[in-house]
């Protein structure tokens, strides 16, 4: 086999080798079925078994309470930017958002097409390097929900305590740290996440929704595929699901369970990112201004003094088999993503490289 690289991409990103090997082994024939998961009709018992394996593993791992439904959809978090307002608010209703950067701005942009959204707080004054505090009095009267971005893939920040929004339903985009840090589903009305960072591959979007938070019936303008009620009623099989991605989520979630569940993942992610933050904090070269309590456990960002040094860092890292270390095109710098699928070795490797890079300057 070709030597595998160390992949620090922000998603899609590294999957555990065991998970990939299992997928490879059964690719031609899912055990007992004589055909590939990719060839499987979604109206068969065999597919329903996979569908339920994924759903049930998510329920167990996230302690999903009664009254919530787990949906396995397409369209990514970007699709949810529209679905959330369309299903939790009526046209023109007030909905509140926390401005923590790039993806919060994308989310509110889509909400504006349907509702009356407003940023009720922002960390833009410090270039999104912290998590702005929220108290119930900051929310607008009659707002239908508060939307937060749980972990900021681009900026490298994360909520480690949920905001206090009183009785207002909390909606959170946990795309980049779902199952990578412990969160209390019961405190949310809705959670959504693309699967491609911590719990599977691109093409699957997981939504965990409190059923009675959804407006029923939906506004007649809401397309069936964007209607949570339709998806709940049809168990996410309103149309042909992204079967292979659902299968990969089942494998990945079962792997997470075998490692000890989300608590074990959080501990490992804390250790991995901790190694890299340690290098940064002890360094005179790398800069990360985020207060420790607001730092992401899975996306470590750092600035270097110049674009030239950033380019050189990336080039030299790649020469040692470490890829995708550059920050998002909107912010530059470095970004080291260490999701659930990345072993400790990935953190050790980059931490060591960072130290050597600084020494050799």
Residues 292-331 that bind a copy of itself (CB under 8 A): 321, 323-324, 329
Stretch that binds a copy of itself, among 54-62, 116-124, 215-223, 295-303 (CB under 8 A): 215-223
Residue 113 or 271: the one with the smaller Cβ distance to a copy of itself is 113
Options 52, 63, 240, 307; binder of a copy of itself; rule CB under 8 A: 240
Residue in 90, 239, 282, 356 binding a copy of itself, rule: CB under 8 A: 239
Distance CA 240, CA 121 (A): 39
Binder of a copy of itself out of 12, 101, 117, 327 (CB under 8 A): 12
Helix (H, G, I), strand (E, B) or coil at 119: strand
Choose which of 162, 225, 309, 331 interacts with a copy of itself (CB under 8 A). 225
Instruction: Please tell me the distance from the alpha carbon of residue 207 to that of residue 43, in angstroms, as a whole number.
Output: 21
Cβ-based neighbour number of residue 88 at 10 Å: 23
Q: According to CB under 8 A, which one of 117, 169, 180, 194 is a site residue for a copy of itself?
A: 194
Q: Which is nearer to a copy of itself, 132 or 333 (CB)?
A: 333
User: Between 133 and 162, how does the x/- string for binding to a copy of itself read (CB under 8 A)?
Assistant: ------------------------------
Q: What angle do CA 259, 24, 199 make, to 5 degrees?
A: 40
Q: Does 238 bind a copy of itself (CB under 8 A)?
A: yes
State which residue, 49 or 358, has the beta carbon closest to a copy of itself.
49
- β 157-158/151-152 pair status: antiparallel
CB atoms within 10 A of CB 36: 15
Site string for a copy of itself, 50-89 (x = CB under 8 A): ------------------------xxxxxx-xx-------
* Nearest CB to a copy of itself, comparing residues 123 and 324: 324
Question: Which of 182, 125, 200, 137 lies closest to 163 in space, CA to CA?
Answer: 137
Q: Which of 185, 183, 180, 182 is nearest to 197 (CA)?
A: 180
Q: Compute how many residues bind a copy of itself; rule: CB under 8 A.
A: 72
Residue ranges in the chain assigned as alpha helix (H): 17-25, 45-62, 76-88, 102-111, 228-233, 243-259, 261-282, 307-319, 344-359
């Amino acid at each position: 086999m070709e030597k595998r690289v160390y992949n620090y991409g922000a998603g899609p990103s590294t999957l555990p080798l065991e998970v990939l090997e299992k997928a490879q082994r059964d690719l031609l024939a899912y055990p007992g079925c004589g055909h590939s998961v990719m060839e499987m009709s979604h109206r068969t018992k065999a597919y329903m078994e996979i569908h339920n394996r994924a759903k049930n593993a998510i329920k167990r791992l996230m302690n999903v309470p009664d009254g919530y439904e787990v949906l396995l959809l397409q369209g990514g978090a970007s699709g949810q930017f529209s679905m959330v307002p369309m299903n939790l608010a009526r046209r023109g209703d007030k909905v509140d958002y926390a401005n923590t950067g790039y993806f919060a701005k994308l989310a509110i942009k889509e909400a504006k097409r349907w509702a009356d959204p407003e940023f009720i707080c922002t960390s833009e004054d410090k270039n999104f390097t912290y998590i702005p505090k929220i108290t119930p009095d900051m929310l607008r009267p009659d707002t239908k929900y508060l939307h937060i971005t749980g972990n900021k893939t681009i900026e490298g920040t994360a909520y480690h305590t949920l905001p206090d929004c009183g009785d207002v339903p909390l909606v959170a985009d946990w795309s980049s740290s779902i199952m990578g840090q412990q969160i209390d589903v019961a405190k949310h009305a809705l959670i959504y996440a693309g699967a491609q960072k911590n719990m599977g591959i691109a093409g699957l979007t997981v939504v965990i929704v409190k059923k009675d938070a959804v407006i029923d019936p939906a506004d007649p303008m809401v397309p069936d595929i964007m209607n949570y009620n339709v998806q709940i009623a049809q168990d996410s099989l309103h149309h042909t699901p992204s079967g292979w991605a659902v299968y990969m989520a089942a494998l990945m979630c079962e792997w997470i369970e075998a490692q000890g569940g989300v608590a074990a993942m959080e501990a490992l992610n804390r250790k991995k990112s901790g190694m890299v933050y340690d290098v940064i904090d002890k360094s005179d070269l790398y800069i990360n201004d985020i207060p420790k309590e607001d730092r992401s456990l899975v996306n470590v960002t750092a600035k270097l003094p110049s674009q030239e040094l950033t380019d050189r860092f990336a080039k030299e890292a790649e020469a040692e088999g470490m890829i995708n270390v550059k920050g998002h095109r909107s912010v530059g710098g470095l970004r080291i993503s260490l999701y659930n699928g990345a072993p400790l070795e990935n953190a050790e490797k980059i931490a060591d490289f960072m130290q050597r890079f600084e020494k050799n300057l």
